[in-house]
Chain A
Amino acid sequence: MRYDSLVDSVGQTPLVGLPRLSPSADVRLWAKLEDRNPTGSIKDRAALYMVQAAEKDGSLQPGATILEPTSGNTGISLAMVASQRGYKLICVMPENTSVERRQLLEMWGASIVSSPAAGGSNEAVRVAKAMAAEHREWVMLYQYGNPANAAAHYETTAPEILADLPTITHFVAGLGTTGTLMGCGRYLREKVPGIQIVAAEPRYGELVYGLRNLDEGFVPELYDESVLTTRFSVGPAEALRRTRELVEQEGIFAGISTGAILHAALGSASKAVAAGERADIAFVVADGGWKYLSTGAYAGTLEEAEAALEGQLWA
């Protein structure tokens, strides 16, 4: 397939069947390979849409500077899109973030401002907000509340899936900014009566939750509970086990969050089998496993891998 430029090649990813992990000929699993996007994750779609929307409404002018507190896939996607469109990108990230992420961001031309490790992402947000207040000309796209994030999936991801799988009965994805589930969920609910929209969210170890205050939680502005059919919490043991099953049985080398998503997809498959219903379950492979090799997720026993993940934000 031919495109005018790399940015034009975002999306149109393959949907592949899982002949070994699908429980029967009537209950089938299908993987949407979002790691095939230009920077290797589903975030390329949201980054491109958020930039295009800001260009359209005039908030992003030629040569402008984008500021985002991010150390993950969104930052990497934004860095690529910004470099191709002539914007500067400043990512604010905690100083203890992995060297791979730092190198990837710098490779695509992003500047990195470090925030103190002690405050974690919290501190990165505080620093970014303070910088934005001082530099009114900088543009913060804010993926958790930016409707263009969900629109990317409403207009591209979901139509692609439905075109490839008109018999779809379930859509399963990870719940983070909630953009994928809100966008795909709304589109599929409009087109497919009775479709189930299933969310998988990671459940971390004790060290990560720490003394988090129950009165100060975080729910992204994009989140609308009514779009979902149900929501599963998936721990690291299940996520790791499924990540390995996916590569061992189907040859798909995915990141750990995809293991959590597959776990929820297989749970939906079991329910369909038990109910004697046919099902075509599409789930999202959010990214490949490359960026997580250093976590130890793919080496040694599952117990060793789980121990290595303790205290880490693995999804």
Chain B
Amino acid sequence: MAIEVRIPTILRTYTGGEKAVTGDGSTLADVLVDLDSRHPGLRERIVDEKGLRRFVNVYVNDEDVRFMGGLGTGLKDGDTVTVLPAVAGGSADGPEAASAPLPLGFGS
């Protein structure tokens, strides 16, 4: 089972600069454990004892796993996992912010 996991810039110190790494496992939780065996420290930047960290979003094939099975979300060969910092904005254009740190997402 080859699952491509896209890594945000801030976490590439754990992947030797690689933008994407390949993991193995039938759930998101399994894949993160598998990745951590080769990239120690990566997993705990994404999850804590309560589950996904508050300001981290994880998507399987572009859908937010918080609305799927969370860390238990099932994965199959060829799925793509994307890890991104949680960001937000307004709606429908422009850089926008109302509270530091910089919110992204839809402008407002």
Chain A residues close to B by CB (< 8 Å): 41-43, 68-74, 94, 97, 101, 120-122, 124-126, 142-145, 173-180, 201-204, 206, 208-220, 223, 225, 228-235, 255, 257-258, 286-287, 291-292, 313, 315
- Of the residues B10, B11, B86, B93, contact of A218 by C-beta under 8 Å: B86
Chain B residues with CB under 8 Å of A73's CB are: 90-94, 107-108
* CA distance in complex: A214, B46 (Å): 9
User: Are B103 and A255 touching (Cβ within 8 A)?
Assistant: no
A39 to chain B, nearest CB (A): 11
Measured between beta carbons, the chain B residues less than 8 angstroms from A71 are 94-96, 107
Contact B89 A313 (CB under 8 A): yes
Interface-located stretch among B21-29, B31-39, B62-70, B71-79: B62-70
The 8 Å CB contact of B88, one of A94, A206, A223, A233, is: A223
Q: In whole angstroms, what is the CA distance A121 to B107 when docked?
A: 10
Contacts of B2 in A (CB 8 A): none
Quick check: A214 and B45 within 8 Å, CB to CB?
yes
Please, which residue of chain B has its CB at the minimum distance from the CB of A203? B84
Given A70-B108, A174-B106, A217-B54, answer yes or no on A230-B91 (Cβ-Cβ < 8 Å).
no
Q: Are A176 and B101 in contact (CB under 8 A)?
A: no
Q: List 14 A-B contacts (CB under 8 A).
A: A43-B92, A69-B98, A74-B108, A174-B92, A175-B91, A176-B96, A202-B104, A209-B10, A209-B84, A214-B45, A215-B55, A217-B87, A218-B102, A233-B62
A69-B97, A70-B90, A209-B9 known; A230 vs B107 contact (CB < 8 Å):
no
Residue of A nearest to B97 (CB): A121
